[in-house]
A and B are shown apart, each in its own frame.
Chain A
């Protein structure tokens, strides 16, 4: 297996995720970007676990998935409640705390 393929793929996925988070306004899309970044990281964990031949990386990837699932639940709930009160899912509108 060629390591650099995996690394390039992971980096690409991470970059796409980052760009999504930074550039898109819709909170749900931003959320998808975050998921993409998490999965890029997972891909790297699994890759290196395979190369080194131990399971620690894979275990770590499972943890990331579990935590990400929990985070999605909480995050989506927040987004829904913000949408209910402000009639918008744009992250730029969530600025009540600013002065």
Chain B
């Protein structure tokens, strides 16, 4: 039924874009892209005002996105999927691909989130990067990041999506390694890029599978053909898409790059975690819904990956003392919720995107808050060296608190509306699944409450544990205003969009209408259990990190904590399983290449040279010797002829 529903709604009623905003939607990508190019090419002249160009480009893209959304809202709900043909991209025999854009509620939700949060982060960066000599370059990269992400979500084919996908990967590489004069930052950037390549491979294979099966890679054709394709093929495609999503969204087992990505400037972390980059994986899974609908196994794997990552990230978050790394672990965990929801099928698509939107607000707010703390504390990131910052950073404290309440899922803040719904949806189903997935989601919420409260109390409450020469101070207005806006969003967006299920209805042209199934536990029981776990988490964190003294050096701890401090040995596992054998393999290949292939080819060359050396003696330069040779040859021929004649 859901498949039929999707078919009825999405591709069949797709219409051409109309009106000014819709037909020039390509400007959404073009504006930030041009701004990025301008900032990179303008040179030093633009150093003093270039960053405002970046802010303006991002803001303009937001206004334009708003225009497109409003024009789409004016349409009937059933016709809210618009396609915009741009140009004929790859006309090559049987492969004919047009570059085009798909304007529908899903892509526009992303456009609004990316540009709105992105613009706020741009404004914040103006102040945050003030002392940096290459601020102009930073803004160029930020703009490029936004442009690539917008291309990713607006593309109407998997191939064009892939272009944006790679653009996002490149931008993240440039930004994570922005301060690449320090080796660890450059290494972190490389790690992010390489791990993303593993995911990209999945997308490339999925593209090939689609082309082999459907003969096309645009959404419309693929989704039309998907119900008729074989389950095995859809499963393979789905799993490859999941691999891609895992790479980009830092899901298990490709999660290791996200923690290191904190090497970039803090606004970059906010952008990567809230708006661009990591949300792309969720988008891909939700967008590819018709493929996953036909492949229950792939869906199950999606849910499992989401569940594992959710717990994994939460456990890592428990032990991190670096404020940014703790937030990064929390992102991994929250994206795990989204992937889990996206794997639950039609029930979960809207919830995944909804949580993505609310998460975009509060996580951006939390990261900007962390940046503000670092700004006031001379770039200190160790939470054991914070404490009692509430008095000194009142705005940061207040905005951070709203973000904190939102991520905990305390009603009526945003997180409650999205996360609680996901937990409920995880309990829907029959057999063992609702119990396992539901409990995982529930426990995850409890752990999240503990580590986020730990982070909050360690930073803003308790005793002062600063090093002596630090003078914490509130950040300038350019930084606090975006934080306040995001904090208001963290508080209100979830509730506002939930009125009458507005967000779910808005997404219906894409995700299809779906009645909520009955969870195995009744809804009030789940809500109460979630809240109880969350409050328990907050209480324990308060007792341990606000009331009692926090040691400034990490205490000796159990094996589990030590493992969590080292990210559950993710790097060690990756190195032992992939990196070292990989290096060994390449080394042996190089060895084999030198000893076998090169030796063979070089030996042949030497043989020819040596035989030439021997034959060279015949050419002694004496004309008479040559003549003698000719005569001798002639005589031999003569003798041969005579012998054979007789």
Chain A residues engaging chain B, CB cutoff 8 angstroms: 18, 21-23, 25, 30, 91-92, 94-95, 97-99
- Known pairs A18-B631, A92-B624; list 8 more (Cβ under 8 Å): A21-B624, A22-B627, A22-B631, A23-B624, A30-B624, A91-B623, A91-B624, A94-B623
Which residue of A22, A25, A95 contacts B628 across the interface (Cβ within 8 Å)?
A: A22
Q: How far is the CA of A91 from the CA of B623 in the complex (A)?
A: 6
How many residue pairs, one in A and one in B, have C-beta atoms under 8 Å apart? 25
Chain B residues engaging chain A, CB cutoff 8 angstroms: 616, 619-624, 627-628, 631
Q: A18-B631, A22-B631 are contacts. A95–B621 as well, Cβ < 8 Å? A: yes
Q: How far is the CB of B634 from chain A (nearest CB, A)?
A: 9
Q: How far is the CA of A23 from the CA of B623 in the complex (A)?
A: 11
Q: How far is the CB of B616 from chain A (nearest CB, A)?
A: 8
Q: How far is the CA of A33 from the CA of B627 in the complex (A)?
A: 12
Q: Please name 25 pairs of A and B residues whose Cβ atoms are closer than 8 Å in the assembled complex, sorted by A.
A: A18-B631, A21-B624, A21-B627, A22-B624, A22-B627, A22-B628, A22-B631, A23-B624, A25-B624, A30-B624, A91-B622, A91-B623, A91-B624, A92-B622, A92-B623, A92-B624, A94-B623, A95-B620, A95-B621, A95-B622, A97-B621, A98-B619, A98-B620, A98-B621, A99-B616
Q: Is the interface of B mostly helix, strand, loop or mixed?
A: helix
Chain A residues near B624: list those with CB within 8 A: 21-23, 25, 30, 91-92
Q: How far is the CA of A95 from the CA of B626 in the complex (A)?
A: 12
Chain B residues near A92: list those with CB within 8 A: 622-624
Counting from the closest, the 3 A-B pairs by CB-CB distance are: A98-B621, A95-B621, A91-B623
Q: How far is the CA of A98 from the CA of B620 in the complex (A)?
A: 7
Q: How far is the CA of A23 from the CA of B622 in the complex (A)?
A: 12
User: Which chain B residue lies CB-closest to A23?
Assistant: B624
Q: How far is the CA of A94 from the CA of B624 in the complex (A)?
A: 11
Q: How far is the CA of A92 from the CA of B620 in the complex (A)?
A: 10
Q: How far is the CB of B220 from chain A (nearest CB, A)?
A: 72
Chain B residues near A25: list those with CB within 8 A: 624
Q: How far is the CB of A78 from chain B (nearest CB, A)?
A: 12
Q: How far is the CA of A25 from the CA of B623 in the complex (A)?
A: 10
Q: How far is the CA of A13 from the CA of B616 in the complex (A)?
A: 34
Chain A residues near B631: list those with CB within 8 A: 18, 22
Q: How far is the CA of A25 from the CA of B622 in the complex (A)?
A: 10
Chain B residues near A98: list those with CB within 8 A: 619-621
Q: How far is the CA of A21 from the CA of B619 in the complex (A)?
A: 18
Q: How far is the CB of A48 from chain B (nearest CB, A)?
A: 18
User: Which chain A residue lies CB-closest to B619?
Assistant: A98
Q: How far is the CA of A99 from the CA of B618 in the complex (A)?
A: 12
Chain A residues near B628: list those with CB within 8 A: 22
User: Which chain B residue lies CB-closest to A24?
Assistant: B624
Q: Which one of B616, B623, B627 has the greatest number of beta carbons of chain A within 10 Å?
A: B623
Chain A residues near B627: list those with CB within 8 A: 21-22
Chain B residues near A99: list those with CB within 8 A: 616
Chain B residues near A30: list those with CB within 8 A: 624
Q: How far is the CA of A23 from the CA of B628 in the complex (A)?
A: 9
Q: How far is the CA of A75 from the CA of B187 in the complex (A)?
A: 76
Q: How far is the CA of A35 from the CA of B621 in the complex (A)?
A: 23
Q: How far is the CB of B639 from chain A (nearest CB, A)?
A: 15
Q: How far is the CB of A46 from chain B (nearest CB, A)?
A: 22
Chain A residues near B621: list those with CB within 8 A: 95, 97-98
User: Which chain A residue lies CB-closest to B623?
Assistant: A91
Chain B residues near A18: list those with CB within 8 A: 631
Chain A residues near B620: list those with CB within 8 A: 95, 98
Chain A residues near B619: list those with CB within 8 A: 98
User: Which chain B residue lies CB-closest to A95?
Assistant: B621
Chain B residues near A94: list those with CB within 8 A: 623
Q: How far is the CA of A18 from the CA of B616 in the complex (A)?
A: 26
Q: How far is the CB of B433 from chain A (nearest CB, A)?
A: 84
User: Which chain B residue lies CB-closest to A18?
Assistant: B631
Q: How far is the CA of A95 from the CA of B621 in the complex (A)?
A: 5
Q: How far is the CA of A92 from the CA of B623 in the complex (A)?
A: 7
Chain A residues near B616: list those with CB within 8 A: 99
Q: How far is the CA of A30 from the CA of B625 in the complex (A)?
A: 13
Q: How far is the CA of A51 from the CA of B620 in the complex (A)?
A: 44
Q: How far is the CA of A97 from the CA of B621 in the complex (A)?
A: 7
Chain A residues near B622: list those with CB within 8 A: 91-92, 95
Q: How far is the CB of A63 from chain B (nearest CB, A)?
A: 21
Q: How far is the CA of A95 from the CA of B631 in the complex (A)?
A: 20
Q: Which one of B619, B620, B624 has the greatest number of beta carbons of chain A within 10 Å?
A: B624
Q: How far is the CA of A1 from the CA of B222 in the complex (A)?
A: 101
Q: How far is the CB of B83 from chain A (nearest CB, A)?
A: 74
Q: How far is the CA of A83 from the CA of B628 in the complex (A)?
A: 24
Q: How far is the CA of A23 from the CA of B625 in the complex (A)?
A: 10
Q: How far is the CA of A25 from the CA of B624 in the complex (A)?
A: 8
Q: How far is the CA of A91 from the CA of B621 in the complex (A)?
A: 10
User: Which chain B residue lies CB-closest to A91?
Assistant: B623
User: Which chain A residue lies CB-closest to B620?
Assistant: A98
Q: How far is the CB of B72 from chain A (nearest CB, A)?
A: 82
Q: How far is the CA of A71 from the CA of B184 in the complex (A)?
A: 81
Q: How far is the CA of A99 from the CA of B616 in the complex (A)?
A: 9
Q: How far is the CA of A23 from the CA of B631 in the complex (A)?
A: 13
Q: How far is the CB of A53 from chain B (nearest CB, A)?
A: 25
Chain A residues near B623: list those with CB within 8 A: 91-92, 94
Q: How far is the CA of A98 from the CA of B617 in the complex (A)?
A: 10
Q: How far is the CB of A75 from chain B (nearest CB, A)?
A: 12
Q: How far is the CA of A80 from the CA of B621 in the complex (A)?
A: 20
Q: How far is the CB of B633 from chain A (nearest CB, A)?
A: 13
Q: How far is the CA of A88 from the CA of B269 in the complex (A)?
A: 87
Q: How far is the CB of A72 from chain B (nearest CB, A)?
A: 17
Q: How far is the CA of A98 from the CA of B616 in the complex (A)?
A: 10
Q: How far is the CA of A91 from the CA of B627 in the complex (A)?
A: 11
Q: How far is the CA of A95 from the CA of B623 in the complex (A)?
A: 8
User: Which chain A residue lies CB-closest to B634?
Assistant: A18
Q: How far is the CA of A25 from the CA of B631 in the complex (A)?
A: 17
Q: How far is the CB of A94 from chain B (nearest CB, A)?
A: 6
Q: How far is the CB of A7 from chain B (nearest CB, A)?
A: 14
Q: How far is the CA of A92 from the CA of B624 in the complex (A)?
A: 7
Q: How far is the CA of A23 from the CA of B627 in the complex (A)?
A: 10
Chain B residues near A21: list those with CB within 8 A: 624, 627
Q: How far is the CB of A15 from chain B (nearest CB, A)?
A: 10
Q: How far is the CA of A21 from the CA of B230 in the complex (A)?
A: 87
Q: Which one of B619, B621, B628 has the greatest number of beta carbons of chain A within 10 Å?
A: B621
Q: How far is the CA of A30 from the CA of B624 in the complex (A)?
A: 9
